[in-house]
Amino acid sequence: MIVHIVTDDSGSLVDDPKYKILVDRNGKIEAMAKGLDLSWAQGIAEDLVRSSGSTQIAQKSASWRRVPPTDAQRALLKRLSVPITAKMTKGEASDIISARMAAKSLARLEPEKATSKQLWLLRHEHISVPDGITKEEASKIIAGLMAKRRSLSG
């Protein structure tokens, strides 16, 4: 089981960021909670990890979490456009970096939306296009259209 804390679409990413918790169980991703402040999201995620039997990683009281961020963490936070406060700890920096990296990884797992060319072709052929149709779904419909045309012309 892998637990991800990622930014949620609710709230402002700058003024009031919100987070959601996603759990990956053997490639099946399930949303566990959303619209959470970072501290709530961390607490829930840590409880999920502990309940799975993995306690070493999810110790809130680990001493390394209370020291200042490393130079490498500061540099990465800067590249991610995350403001670094004077009171920020290595643990907080780690949590923010993990959330951002998980969000990028999960974004790659989400299916691509149909292209404008695909949508144009489907509409041109008078095919009802459902909202949110994926690139793969559009490709299958278009392939079916082409196969039908070949069978009619041959």
pLDDT tens readout for residues 80-98: 899 999 999 998 998 888 8
Distance separating alpha carbons of residues 47 and 32, to the nearest angstrom: 12
Low-confidence ranges of the chain (pLDDT < 70): 9-16, 54-60, 105-109, 154
The answer to whether the pTM exceeds 0.75 is no
Question: 150 and 144 in contact (C-beta within 8 Å)?
Answer: no
Q: In what order do the strands lie in the sheet with 2-7?
A: 2-7, 19-25, 28-36
Degrees to nearest 5, angle at CA 8 with 6 and 11 = 135
